[in-house]
Amino acid sequence: MAANFPGYPIAVGAKKMAVHPNGHAGPASYTQVTTGPLAGGDTVYASDFGLKYIESLDGGITADGLYRVEVIMPVSGPATSVTLRWTVVATGAQVAGAVNLSASIVNLIAVGL
């Protein structure tokens, strides 16, 4: 399990809110997301946040401003992992396959158990 951001996870009612430690770096070789069935993308795990399950995850813009990270939650129920789709801010297009995103960092906030 990765070390969580200092002071997290914190209780929010019966749930916990957690921040990915030091932000989440993109993969060294991105695979485009496809649907039907869902495949590819960048995967984050509940354990990355010190959680057992993720019920909600917020993405955002990377610190360098180049990419938007969109969260694709499972169809139902809490998840042990969640898929992230990376898109180029300037064009709105999904990042091409095999692009190295490891230098781009996004802050992710998860709510779960």
Percent of the chain with pLDDT over 90: 72
pLDDT at 1: 42
Domain residue spans of the chain: 10-112
When comparing pLDDT for 21 and 77, which is higher?
A: 77
Provide the whole-model pTM.
0.89
When comparing pLDDT for 2 and 22, which is higher?
A: 22
By DSSP bridging, strand 54-58 and strand 67-72 are: unpaired
When comparing pLDDT for 22 and 56, which is higher?
A: 56
Burial of 23 from C-beta contacts in 10 A (0-12 / 13-18 / 19+): middle
Tens-digit pLDDT profile for residues 101-113: 999 999 999 999 9
What Å distances lie between residue 111 and 4, 27, 93, 102, CA to CA?
13, 23, 28, 24
Cβ atoms of 73 and 64 within 8 Å: the answer is no
